[in-house]
Amino acid sequence: MSESFSPKIITEVPGNYRLMREDDIPAVFAIDEDIYPFPWTEGIFKDCITAGQLCIINVIDHQVAAYGVVGMIVNEAHILNLSVRSDLQGKGYGREMLLYLLDLIKKNGAERALLEVRQSNQIARKLYQSMGFEEIGVRKGYYPDHEGREDAIVLALGIDSGL
């Protein structure tokens, strides 16, 4: 049976990066709703916080600029959400958040990071590829889309590989 993972590093969150709190959820949800055709609900973010997943935000000028959510199961980390506010995309914040999450994942002892990305999401795929993620599979029809379903590409990164 899989064992739930307790984050060990939360006191080390520096600078503009900090843990997401429940009172951040409306701002985070507003971004999610703006940037995804099928956003998460506020309840999903709340459940992630309650479940002790690594929910991180980057705050710039007192506003949420980017966020990431990572589920940890024993020695594997699943990056469940990585998002940048639309007016700040393309300025390096996504790569910075991903690096930040990978550092937390490493400090928490995971050996591998996994994520799913929409097949059509060329920007995110390029980012992940540049960070060394490799395609390990396809989940057919994983995501809803306006024409039906879209495949997810499953990507993995060995945590000691070059980080």
- Cα(7)–Cα(94) distance, rounded to whole angstroms? 22
CB of residue 118 to ligand COA, shortest distance in Å: 7
CB of 45 vs ligand COA, minimal distance in Å: 15
Does 99 help bind ligand COA (rule: CB under 6 A)?
no
Q: Pattern of binders to ligand COA over 121-140, x per CB under 6 A?
A: x-xx-xx--x----------
Dihedral sign of CA atoms 121, 89, 40, 30 in order: negative
Other Cβ atoms less than 10 A from the Cβ of 15: the count is: 8
Active site residue 100: no
The verdict on 89 binding ligand COA (CB under 6 A) reads: yes
Least spacing, CB of residue 81 vs ligand COA, in Å:
7
Q: Which of 42, 76, 96, 116 is catalytic?
A: 116
List 8, 21, 91, 139, residue binding ligand COA (CB under 6 A): 91
17: annotated active-site residue: no
One DSSP character per residue, 54-114 reads EEEEEEETTEEEEEEEEEEETTEEEEEEEEE-GGGTTSSHHHHHHHHHHHHHHHTT-SEEE
Residues that bind ligand COA (CB under 6 A): 35, 82-84, 89-95, 117, 121, 123-124, 126-127, 130
